[in-house]
Amino acid sequence: MEKSEKSKCLCTPVETLVFSCAGGSNVGQIANQAAVELTKMGHGKIYCLAGIGGHVSHLIELTKIAKKIVAIDGCPVQCSKKVLEHTGFGVDICGVVTEMGVKKNYDLSVDSDDVKKVVDKLSSEILKAR
């Protein structure tokens, strides 16, 4: 690989960035899988919440130019939303998996019906916000 390819960031700015919880529970894993599905559907691009919390400069700069920021949290603690706000970002759309009728447990199971429920609700909100 050439030097220019190594130093070139493969992250390109997009209109909608999606940040998700990936916590140690089923709802955290559902939130993360919903972010993956929204990205695959073209409703935004999943982005690195840990990099935002770690103040990684190029991730912060690319987030600053996003038109919409989506946070998907597993539970009412809303860690994703809080990390973004703590770093100075407003959240345009926030979804909380437990508020969509999914009961939190710690077995890390991801039910595809629960993921679909989250994806359907948030994709609708993202499309309305465009």
Return the pLDDT at 126: 96
Residue ranges and CATH numbers for the domains of the chain are 13-125 (3.40.50)
Is the pLDDT assigned to residue 72 strictly greater than 90?
Answer: yes
The residues, ordered by sequence, that sit 6+ positions from 44 with a Cβ below 8 Å of its Cβ are 14, 15, 16, 17, 18, 38, 68, 70, 126
d(CA 77, CA 82): 9
Return the pLDDT at 6: 46
Q: Is residue 63 very low, low, confident or very high in pLDDT (cuts 50, 70, 90)?
A: very high
Return the pLDDT at 8: 44
Contact, 77 vs 104, CB < 8 A?
no
